[in-house]
């Protein structure tokens, strides 16, 4: 079969960009972690590249995209990619590229989504428990929502939209992170400072770069929506970062680099569900909302004493929620055929709110119960001794830096 070379190349590039986000997240979290827990958090992120790939090819892709129309989960007809020839054309893009590249593209989403959660419980969870968590959370949280939103399932039939993962990725991961934090409790050293802000900056740059594939690639073809999503992504991130910087500067009296970087990521997360559905001016307002509302969410978290170490809930969880709701407000029929609240479509606005609240609530409750169950199998929380010693040496027997040479 003759495929469209340009579109195929674009999807290969987008897939590669999304893959790069996982190492980028590892650098981002690794830089924010304390100096004795750098490798522990990076290990939790990188290991998903291996385990999730095996899960996805074995049965994950099939559960998400095979059968189950209007339902909660698919079937196992495509387990191990059975019945999908290597040269099969992906029908969702008019047969312009092989189905295999769509499978790989969606796999990279599956790889990074559960790793977002790890920043919340840095240096408090055993590696054995995390591996069980990584597998179970995908099967019982991520796969059902992929199917329901992107795989022709229940929420898709209801008319819910999520361009690149506000509900499916960020809201579910963010509220799972909050449940994890409440379950495992606070760190002994809650004043731990970032070990390497330059590493955080490198991670932010890689995440932002990869996010172009994450959002623009989610159009699954090359057209005007693709370029709109690309530009909306950049603009929202930029506005959010500057907004966060200004707010923190006013409050703290100094412009903070980590604050600027955090604001960028908040903007990226918040524009994700809306990137291909809203005009450019709306992306700027979404960026403004991301920088201010996610900042408020983090302050709220601090006031309640939730030890979400790297602000996963405030940045990703609430970013996903805000972005999904604002999609319901700003969606424009002139962009991608979907009208929102501003164009008089109250029903769509309500559907987006109900869907993101339901997804967040389910992810929170399931994650909390799952951690209780995992604790019966293997201890979830590390010992006080290991936590004080640092998980890099206690669990992995390695150090990030040869401190004698610094």
- pLDDT given at position 406: 44
- pLDDT given at position 160: 98
Give 261-293 pLDDT, tens digit per residue: 999 999 999 999 999 999 999 999 999 999 999
Distance between CA 358 and CA 270 in Å, rounded?
18
80 HSE (CA, 13 A, CB side): 1
Cβ neighbors of 208 (< 8 A, separation 6 or more) are 237, 264, 268
Cβ neighbors of 373 (< 8 A, separation 6 or more) are none
- pLDDT given at position 192: 79
**Residues 173-190: b if buried by 16+ CB within 10 A, e if exposed:** bbbbbbbbbbbbeebeee
Cβ neighbors of 299 (< 8 A, separation 6 or more) are none
Backbone angles phi, psi at 222, to 5 degrees: -115, 115
Cβ neighbors of 165 (< 8 A, separation 6 or more) are 109, 113, 214, 218, 272, 273, 320
* Domain residue ranges in the chain: 5-397
- pLDDT given at position 404: 58
- Residue ranges for the chain with pLDDT beneath 70: 1, 403-406
- pLDDT given at position 193: 87
Q: The domain 5-397 is classified under which CATH number: 3.20.20.140, 2.30.110.10, 1.10.3430.10, 3.40.50.720?
A: 1.10.3430.10
- pLDDT given at position 359: 98
Distance between CA 27 and CA 17 in Å, rounded?
15
Distance between CA 247 and CA 8 in Å, rounded?
43
- pLDDT given at position 190: 75
Distance between CA 55 and CA 66 in Å, rounded?
15
- Classify residue 139 by burial, with Cβ atoms within 10 Å: 0-12, 13-18, 19+: middle
Element at 262 (helix H, strand E): helix 257-271
Q: What's the sign of the alpha-carbon dihedral 394, 118, 268, 229?
A: positive
Distance between CA 316 and CA 265 in Å, rounded?
8
- pLDDT given at position 188: 84
- pLDDT given at position 1: 59
Among 44, 192, 61, which residue's Cα sits nearest to residue 127?
44
Query: Tokens 């408090």 appear where?
Result: 124
Q: 313 to each of 156, 269, 360, how far by Cα in Å?
A: 25, 11, 11
């Amino acid at each position: 079969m003759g495929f469209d070379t340009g579109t195929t190349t674009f999807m290969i590039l987008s897939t590669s960009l999304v893959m790069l986000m996982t190492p980028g997240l590892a650098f981002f979290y690794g830089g924010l972690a304390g100096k004795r827990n750098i490798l522990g958090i990076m290990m939790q992120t990188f290991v998903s590249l291996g385990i999730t790939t095996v899960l996805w090819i074995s049965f994950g892709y099939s559960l998400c995209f095979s059968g189950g129309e209007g339902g909660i989960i698919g079937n196992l007809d495509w387990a191990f990619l059975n019945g999908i020839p290597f040269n099969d054309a992906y029908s969702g893009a008019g047969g312009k590229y092989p189905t295999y590249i769509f499978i790989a593209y969606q796999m990279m989403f599956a790889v990074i989504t559960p790793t977002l959660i790890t920043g919340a419980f840095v240096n408090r969870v055993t590696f054995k428990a995390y591996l069980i968590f990584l597998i179970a959370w995908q099967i019982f949280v991520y796969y059902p929502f992929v199917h329901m939103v992107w795989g022709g399932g229940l929420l898709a039939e209801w008319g819910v939209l999520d361009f690149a993962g506000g509900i499916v990725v960020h809201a579910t991961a963010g509220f799972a992170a909050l449940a994890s934090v409440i379950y495992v409790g606070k760190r002994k050293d809650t004043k731990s400072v970032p070990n390497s802000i330059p590493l955080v900056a490198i991670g932010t740059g890689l995440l932002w770069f990869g996010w172009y594939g994450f959002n623009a690639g989610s159009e699954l073809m090359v057209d005007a929506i693709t370029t709109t999503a690309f530009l909306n992504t950049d603009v929202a991130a930029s506005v959010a970062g500057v907004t966060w910087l200004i707010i923190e500067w006013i409050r703290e009296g100094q412009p903070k680099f980590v604050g600027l970087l955090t604001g960028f990521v908040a903007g990226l997360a918040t524009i994700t569900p809306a990137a291909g559905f809203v005009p450019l001016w709306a992306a700027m307002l979404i960026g403004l909302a991301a920088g201010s509302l996610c900042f408020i969410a983090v302050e709220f978290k601090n006031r309640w004493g939730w030890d979400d170490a790297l602000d996963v809930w405030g940045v990703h969880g609430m970013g996903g929620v805000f972005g999904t709701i604002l999609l319901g407000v700003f969606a424009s029929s002139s962009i991608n055929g979907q009208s929102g609240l501003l164009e008089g479509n109250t029903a769509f606005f309500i559907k987006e709110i109900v869907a993101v609240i339901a997804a967040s609530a389910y992810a929170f409750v399931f994650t909390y119960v799952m951690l209780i169950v995992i604790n019966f199998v293997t201890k979830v929380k590390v010992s006080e001794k290991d936590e004080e010693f640092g998980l890099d040496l206690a669990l992995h027997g390695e150090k990030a830096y040869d401190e004698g040479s610094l």
